[in-house]
Amino acid sequence: MNSKKRPRRLRGTETLRNMVRETRMDKASLIYPMFVVEGKGIRREIPSMPGQYHYSLDMLPAALEEVAKSGVSSVMLFGIPEKKDELGSSAWVEDGIIQRALEAGKKAVPELYYITDVCMCEYTSHGHCGALCGRHVDNDRTLPLLAKTALSHVRAGADMVAPSDMMDGRVEAIRQILDENGYLETPIMSYAVKYASAFYGPFREAADSAPAFGDRKTYQMDYHNAKEGIKEALLDVEEGADLVMVKPALSYLDVIRRVSEQVCVPVAAYSVSGEYAMIKAAAMKGWIDEASVVCEAATSVYRAGAGVLLTYYAKELARFMEEGRIG
């Protein structure tokens, strides 16, 4: 071979490979999702998500401490209420599950950054992400419900709110109510580009939030579309989103890439429950090496253009980054 160009030269040693890495990651960019339930003494493993748990409020502080100790600095809280109704009214009550979780969490582990998922589907009796009009999810009637839920989270101590419902105009509605109440500094991370995805299956079991009829295709996006994702992201930025998210992550790396090239705000990606479950299941069968696959999959999301990653593997990834295995 005569060529002077030998790409292998830069792969010769680990030191050199680490020097010339194109993708750099930091544990500061990881967000760990957690599920909070009513009751006492509950730390119950979620069947389709081995290694992930439902926590009652008394068990939450220990779990949060473990997160902080792992080097992850931020959590995303999901609440599963005792009572559900048509409108999802336990989402915005002062003594709601998320509101009390924030109070308990911030008191016990104040060094963590608390983000809350703002949506109605865990709180409505029909499992849809908004108020119904017949069998249709009524966009405009849902907006004030989302806005007051977000406000109640922030009042209870949320550092950031993350609407995941996919109603049009919700970022604007939330920004407005937060500003009117003096919460000018509280950022909104919008689940801007959220697809109607079968990868949410395990989450819906965990959050008891599967729709009682129909599906979410009239509000979540059609997975055939990528340009539409850019439209959604740009709209949310215009409405005041401080970060935009693409979700799921692995099957949407092209969308992460395109969105990250179009917006000037940080782009987050959510590696969802089904992605976690697939890796976990194959690992438990001994078919793949879990740690290696987790590292490779997470790196691909950053390489695609995400700067922030929500993942059920956050604690493990923080360790891998610390060890220099990735990042």
Rank residues 108 and 196 by Cβ distance to ligand PBG and give the closer one. Answer: 196
CA dist., res. 229 & res. 255, Å (int): 7
**Active-site residue identified among 27, 84, 247, 280:** 247
Q: For the CB of residue 209, give the shortest distance to ligand PBG in the complex, in Å.
A: 6
Q: Which residue has the tokens 């970060």?
A: 243
Q: Give the nearest residue (CB) to ligand PBG.
A: 203
Coil vs helix vs strand at 65: helix
Q: For the CB of residue 43, give the shortest distance to ligand PBG in the complex, in Å.
A: 19
Between the CA of residue 49 and those of 44, 73, 246, what are the distances in Å?
Answer: 11, 22, 21
Coil vs helix vs strand at 146: helix
Rank residues 104 and 129 by Cβ distance to ligand PBG and give the closer one. Answer: 129
Q: Counting every residue, how long is the chain?
A: 327
Residue 231 bears catalytic tag: no
**Active-site residue identified among 27, 194, 280, 315:** 194
CA dist., res. 146 & res. 64, Å (int): 26
Rank residues 61 and 201 by Cβ distance to ligand PBG and give the closer one. Answer: 201
Q: For the CB of residue 18, give the shortest distance to ligand PBG in the complex, in Å.
A: 31
Contact between 310 and 76 under an 8 Å Cβ cutoff? The reply is yes
CA dist., res. 189 & res. 23, Å (int): 23
CA dist., res. 248 & res. 226, Å (int): 13
Six token digits for residue 95 = 């003594």
Six token digits for residue 7 = 């790409």
Residue 247 bears catalytic tag: yes
Rank residues 239 and 275 by Cβ distance to ligand PBG and give the closer one. Answer: 275
- Nearest to 25, CA basis, from 261, 294, 302: 302
Rank residues 108 and 293 by Cβ distance to ligand PBG and give the closer one. Answer: 293
Binding site for ligand PBG (CB under 6 A): 117, 119, 121, 129, 164, 200, 203-204, 216, 272-273
Q: For the CB of residue 72, give the shortest distance to ligand PBG in the complex, in Å.
A: 16
Query: How many Cβ atoms are within 10 Å of 12's Cβ, its own excluded?
Result: 9
Q: For the CB of residue 234, give the shortest distance to ligand PBG in the complex, in Å.
A: 22
Name the residues annotated as catalytic: 194, 247
